Structure 1
Amino acid sequence: MNAYSRLMDGLYLLCMGIAAVALLIMVTVIPIGIFARYVLNGALSWPEPVAIVCMIIFTFIGAPVGLRAGTHICVSMVTDRLSETGQKWAQRLCNLLLIVVCLILLQASYSLCEAMWIQPLAALPAVTYGEMYLPIPIGALFTLLFVIERILNGDQSQRPLVTLGGTH
């Protein structure tokens, strides 16, 4: 294992931890909002925007984890029927297309964050829309790094660290 894969191992664990904390906060905050609205008859303004921010974090920081672990949604009906050489070419094409998508997403989401950086959320004035959308370009960058790792070092989904969660 080379230094880049060790660095990606750390990034993988960091992304997994951040996504897990975001999910934990989200599933804690939503019942608080429901309880306040229907039991205490007093709706709180902050649970919904906090849950939305957590969902954005969970989605865009958790997606690179799924990509590296090979647990993302994929349809392999066609590629499974290809020869070994055809499968390698399909994988290369997939990696190339994923790089293009990551670069487009990175550029577009960075522009979005930049444009919305000073616009505060009404329910959480300490947080701006630019900060709320920041996980999108970060997640695109992390995904790009994991795709580069897959190109350089091959599939990482069967390594002991990656199968740690027992999802395979």
Structure 2
Amino acid sequence: MAGTFRRAMDLLYLICVVIGCVALVLISAVIPWAVFTRYVLNSAASWPEPLAVLLTIVVTFIGAAAGYRLNLHMNVAYFASKLPGPFRSLVDLIVQLLMALIALFMIIWGWRLVEVTWHNTIADFPFLSVGVTYLPIPVGGVCLLLFIIERIVLGAPPDPIAQQRDVTFD
């Protein structure tokens, strides 16, 4: 059961990373287009800026969940790392539970935001519901909560970069 859950979290992590990377690449393509149309063609396109903002929401909430899983986020662990083992474990558990509260907040209030704005549209994208644009908030919260549960129940996932360094070619 634990192995299955770990593999499922590995797959979820991969999906989050791919979604975050695609969004980041699209942002990197859209912004230069906006600059080109504004300064070279002297006719600014109206859609690049709102699209970049929408993609930033995706990177922020879904990509950040992936970063949290492998502990790639900024944190201040200096004092916690100086504690004896049992206290360090207790502080880590408290941190994980506080993060779970944040994830629950993202799920509950993010979903309410999606519901409230579902029937509104974006001026530059009239075919797109505002609620859809806020979906990354509760989705990222669900991913984050699952990664926190994984960390509490199974411990930190193995670092894929360290695993690749351990591979030797004979």
Question: Contact between 1:79 and 1:90, CA under 8 Å: does it hold in 2?
Answer: yes
Cα drift, residue 70 of structure 1: 1.1
Question: Contact between 1:113 and 1:129, CA under 8 Å: does it hold in 2?
Answer: yes
Q: Which residue of 1 aligns with 2:128?
A: 127
Q: Deviations over 1:106-134 (max 9, x none)?
A: 11110001000010000111112111111
Aligned 1:1-168 pairs, distance under 5 A: 2-156=3-157, 158-160=158-160
Cα drift, residue 159 of structure 1: 3.5
Give the Cα separation in 2 of the matches to 1:149 and 1:45.
Answer: 43
Give the Cα separation in 1 of the matches to 2:147 and 2:58.
Answer: 18
Unaligned runs of 5+ in 1: none
Question: Contact between 1:69 and 1:163, CA under 8 Å: does it hold in 2?
Answer: no
Unaligned runs of 5+ in 2: 166-170
Over the residues paired in the alignment, what is the CA RMSD in angstroms?
Answer: 1.6
- Report the residue type matching 2:45 in the other structure: L
Give the Cα separation in 2 of the matches to 1:13 and 1:52.
Answer: 23
Name the TM-score, length of structure 1 as normaliser: 0.93
Give the Cα separation in 1 of the matches to 2:162 and 2:66.
Answer: 11
Give the Cα separation in 2 of the matches to 1:52 and 1:164.
Answer: 35
Give the Cα separation in 2 of the matches to 1:83 and 1:126.
Answer: 56
- Report the residue type matching 1:132 in the other structure: T
Give the Cα separation in 2 of the matches to 1:65 and 1:102.
Answer: 13
- Counting matched residue pairs gives 164
Q: Deviations over 1:58-85 (max 9, x none)?
A: 1111011111111111101210111111
Identity score, percent: 38
User: Which structure: greater strand fraction?
Assistant: 2
Partner SS for 1:127: strand
Give the Cα separation in 1 of the matches to 2:132 and 2:122.
Answer: 10
